[in-house]
Structure 1
Amino acid sequence: MTPPTSEPTRRIRLIIIGDEILSGRRQDKHMPKLIELLSQRGMQLAGAEFISDDRDGIAATLQRSFAGGDVVFCCGGIGATPDDQTRQAAAQALGVPLRLHPEAERLIAERCAEMARRDSGSADMSTPENQQRLQMGVFPEGAEIVPNPYNKIPGFFIRDHTFMPGFPIIAWPMMEWMLDTRYKHLHHRTTRVEHSFLAFNLPESRITPALEHLERQWPGVKAFSLPSMGTGHPHIDLGVKGEPEAAAQALAYLRAEVERAGGSLTPPE
């Protein structure tokens, strides 16, 4: 299942699907969690999108995403109610039919049997309720299941896209499982560090030329500048991200440039 280790470093992206996020009824928790999981494995998030539950809109986003070659985690919209359109949109984007996955069918039947043993439903898969539950195992043709340790109802994987429910208690173990099985070969492929410091008594416009020079001098290093707003001593949070040795050199250069430009590395008295 794991691709060869000679594969170059891959971009990791996140797609969050759900009107409830865009309307503010719920707050997204997946992005900070994925960033945490990636960081623990020496990886980083390259981008995130938030889109609505509109099938054509999801399909257009996924069609572009499938063509991009990135590793993508998609959260939301894989249930069986009318507002869940992700499974259908993924099939539409790929131009393939939807099929009931046999392993998903078995797992959903197991879940129904477990619920029946707790006097919460029926183990008879011909009932309307259980037929509706089986819709959650209908995936684009060619998809593989993603195991769900919480309640067995799986997500699915196809073309380097992992589709999970919106519930964090279900989605997060799925993310972790995928990172530690299918994408284990991507762990710690590159070593990157981030350094920052505060600069005082310095307008951002005065240090910008140094930031531009820094990225030309050390092409693998990215500089950042975050000015303060509001109370306290005005300052800029300046920093660099990149390979350790180059980032250390760039950081030393940037600190020296702050002082050369008349700024200070310590707050005023």
Structure 2
Amino acid sequence: MNFGLIVIGDEILSGKRQDKHLSKVIELLGARGLALAWARFVGDDRARITATLRDAFASGDVVFSCGGIGATPDDHTRQCAAAALGVPLELHPQARELILERMRDVAAEQGVPFEPDRPDNVHRLNMGVFPRGATIVPNPYNKIPGFSIGDVHFLPGFPVMAWPMIEGLLDGRYAALHGSQRQTERSVIVMGSMEATLTPLMEAVEHEHPAVRVFSLPSVDHPQYGRHIELGVKGPAGAVDTAFTQLRGGLQALGVTLGPEMVRT
């Protein structure tokens, strides 16, 4: 299965807040031998969120959607998920109990009576209104749950909440996938050449070794190597070794100057 990430919120696109989810999700997946296949950033526009979620549901991928599941006027994700699926919203009974439990905990911490019928507490129950058929995603930070529909998982925008929830999903529901996307990279620094010159060799290597992908990372101002290209292959370890041997041999035949080789897993 592929993994995708959706980050929702005007504050990310405007620069008021810097996204932290992309790098962390890559890290969490990589630590488990998994990889992120795609990511999308979407502002607080209902039509655009709905279209993005419709694509996510149709993708068949495991998707983590972060942001917009609160109960303020600028939170639209719950409503858009329901619209994308064509189902109604309804208060999830287990979410209701968890939210009430959280309210009870807060009242005890503050030393005040628990008043579930107070207007602000009634409004808080909206955070448990999910599309019909949703299941909850436990939130170890404050008990206010996220929700899942199939393999699309809806989480808060706050990293302190979202990241443990993602880890819980990866180590529970998707534990059997661990290691299934583990890849190796082998590359070499190429100096004194141009990508256009190397492209036929890259295409030949990919053609001969369909299990790997060739990559080219040019740099014009590296502090050590100056203008150069990092050229390499990535994929399953055994296939990478064979493909890299062909790549390096082709580079030597071209007479280019080679620098250090690198291996990443």
Q: Settle same-fold status: TM greater than 0.5.
A: yes
Superimposed CA distance per residue, residues 20-76 of structure 1 (whole angstroms, 9 cap, x where no aligned partner): 111111111111111111111111111001111111211111112211211111000
Determine the C-alpha separation between the residues in 2 that align with 1:260 and 1:187. Answer: 40
Contact 1:206 1:261 in 2 (8 A): no
Determine the C-alpha separation between the residues in 2 that align with 1:132 and 1:120. Answer: 21
The structure 1 segments of at least 4 consecutive aligned residues displaced by more than 6 Å after TM superposition are: none
Determine the C-alpha separation between the residues in 1 that align with 2:111 and 2:254. Answer: 71
Residue 242 of structure 1 and its aligned partner are, at CA, apart by 0.7
Superimposed CA distance per residue, residues 94-140 of structure 1 (whole angstroms, 9 cap, x where no aligned partner): 11111111111111111111111122775211111111111111100
Alignment counterpart, residue 247 of structure 1, candidates 233, 240, 244:
240
Contact 1:112 1:122 in 2 (8 A): no
Q: Percent identity?
A: 54
Residues 1:105 and 2:96 are matched in the alignment: yes
Determine the C-alpha separation between the residues in 2 that align with 1:200 and 1:85. Answer: 51
Q: TM-score, normalised by structure 2?
A: 0.94
Distance 1:70 1:198, change over 3 A: same
Alignment RMSD (CA, Å): 1.4
Structure-2 residue corresponding to 1:186? 177
Show structure 2 runs of 5+ residues with no match: 261-265
Q: TM-score, normalised by structure 1?
A: 0.92
**Mean CA deviation greater in 231-240 or 20-29:** 231-240
Show structure 1 runs of 5+ residues with no match: 1-9
Structure with more of its chain in strand, by fraction: 2
Structure-2 residue corresponding to 1:265? 258
Contact 1:164 1:174 in 2 (8 A): yes
Structure-2 residue corresponding to 1:141? 132
Contact 1:194 1:241 in 2 (8 A): yes
1:228 counterpart SS class: strand
Distance 1:253 1:82, change over 3 A: same
Contact 1:22 1:52 in 2 (8 A): yes
Give the aligned residue type for 2:103: C
